Amino acid sequence: MAKAKKTKAKEKSIITETSFQFLKNYINNPSPVGFESGGQKLWLDYLKPYVDTTFTDPYGTAVGVINPTEKFKVVIEAHADEISWFVNYITNEGVIYLKRNGGVDHQIAPAKRVLIHGKKGVVKAVFGWPAIHTRMSNGDQKEQNPKVENLFLDCGARTKKEVEALGIHVGSVVTYEEGFDELAHDYYIGRAFDNRIGGYMIAEVARLLKENNKKLPYALYVVNAVQEEIGLRGAEMIARRIKPDIAIITDVTHDTNTPMINKIIEGDVMCGKGPSPAYGPAVHNKLLKIVEDVAEKKKIPLQMRTVSRSTGTDTDSFAYANDGCPSVLISIPLRYMHTTVEMLHKKDIEMTIQLMYETLLTLSPKTNLSYL
């Protein structure tokens, strides 16, 4: 009689059916820089069962707090905003020209479908672009490359009055239409994983703490900040308000294993191989060592990388706020940043959540982070 093959039991995923549905809804909901309130409401509604209290600041940063009466304060933070466009000029012929709102990539825009958020609601439009047959019909006989100055929207209107009648005005925000989807081998794609995935992961950390009945010896502030994409402004404001003792920041970083990326410059990071903490002046060395020790103990693979004068993330705002706050950056690898097909791997999401969760369980008001 042939021996029965032993099958390895499939590990239970941190991501539940309910939390996965939240992730999809959260990614599909527009949350442009300066207009994050819709996404923040979704996020707070999901987070509230897992925290003791919540609050928002004047510009829309959303915060959930566990143990709010404790004096020692730890922050886990992500940013809620996504890159977008502003309507900047409407011609008499109904052509709509734009201005960037954050670091939106002009090269991916031609022929994209968009949503214009006007006074009367959402209006569908497209980035127009001349057909390939006609693009050489100019004096120079050279193809034009997409630039902010030559990109335009077509919403179906043929006069300025028709555009305005739809509720579109100078200052209307424009977001891309693409949303969440799944690819083979546990890859997810979507618009604005930078950094809606961070908001999702910190909410999941709060959920795990609640469901596993973990009692923290400090106040935990779960922070979803606004306006990161235009200069870390939301983090700057909320760091001054909370005055944390420790901050753990999560954001995305580049998967450098795609074509046209130089690893000599960008380092070696790959989706599916684990979180990517950073070394750099704003990153507190002793706090980073705690994260590394936790990862080693829990067998979570890390992909270390380096940053220079700044991390380019909210870590900088927290690290240098007030009298200084020991801060660490734990990033998740991402392909095709600032496009509509940002791509990441399910395993990295799970491992990054676990790493933050386990790190929080090791911290206490007695944790010694003094350099001297």
pLDDT of residue 222: 98
Residues of the chain with CATH 3.40.630.10: 17-82+191-362
Average confidence (pLDDT) over 361-371 = 97
Inform me whether the pLDDT recorded for 104 exceeds 90.
yes
What angle, 0 to 180 degrees and rounded to 10, lies between the N-to-C axes of helices 17-28 and 37-47?
A: 170
Encoded amino acid at 13, one letter: S
State how far the Cα of 228 lies from the Cα of 178, in Å rounded to an integer.
21
Q: 135-162, pLDDT tens digit by residue?
A: 777 667 778 899 999 999 999 999 999 9
Residue 7: pLDDT over 60: no
Q: What is the pLDDT of residue 348?
A: 98
Residues 27-39: tens digit of each pLDDT? 999 999 999 999 9
Task: Please give the CATH topology (third level) of the domain spanning 17-82+191-362.
Answer: Aminopeptidase (3.40.630)
pLDDT at 79 over 70: yes
Residue 250 scores a pLDDT above 90: yes
Helix (H, G, I), strand (E, B) or coil at 47: helix
Q: Is the pLDDT of residue 12 over 90?
A: no
Going by C-alpha positions, the residue among 331, 162, 322, 192 that lies closest to residue 254 is 331
Q: Output 10 or 87, whichever has higher pLDDT.
A: 87
Instruction: Give the strands of the sheet with 181-183, arranged side by side.
Output: 181-183, 187-190, 342-345
Lowest-confidence segment of 45-59, 136-150, 191-205 by average pLDDT: 136-150
> What's the pLDDT score for residue 132?
87
Residue 8 has pLDDT above 80, yes or no: no
pLDDT at 2 > cutoff 70? no
Residue range(s) in the chain whose domain bears CATH number 2.40.30.40: 85-135+145-176
- What sign for the dihedral angle of Cα 149, 150, 152, 158? positive
Residue 73 burial by Cβ neighbours in a 10 Å radius (0-12, 13-18, 19+): buried
Give, in order, the Cα–Cα distances in Å from 81 to each of 26, 75, 132, 298.
12, 18, 35, 32
> Could you report the per-residue pLDDT of 81-98, keeping only the tens digit for each?
999 999 999 999 999 999
Span 256-283, average pLDDT: 97
Using an 8 Å Cβ cutoff, are 74 and 222 in contact?
A: no
Q: Work out the end-to-end distance of the chain between its first and last CA atoms, rounded to an integer number of angstroms.
A: 68
The predicted structure's pLDDT at residue 133: 84
- Beta strand 121-128 with 152-154 is antiparallel
Mean pLDDT of 174-178: 97
Sign of CA dihedral 105, 107, 108, 113: positive
Given a cut of 80, is residue 209 above it in pLDDT?
yes
Q: Please tell me the predicted confidence (pLDDT) of residue 11.
A: 73
User: What topology does CATH give the domain 85-135+145-176?
Assistant: Elongation Factor Tu (Ef-tu); domain 3 (2.40.30)
User: What are φ and ψ of residue 322, in 5° steps?
Assistant: 55, -125
Amino acid occupying residue 199: G
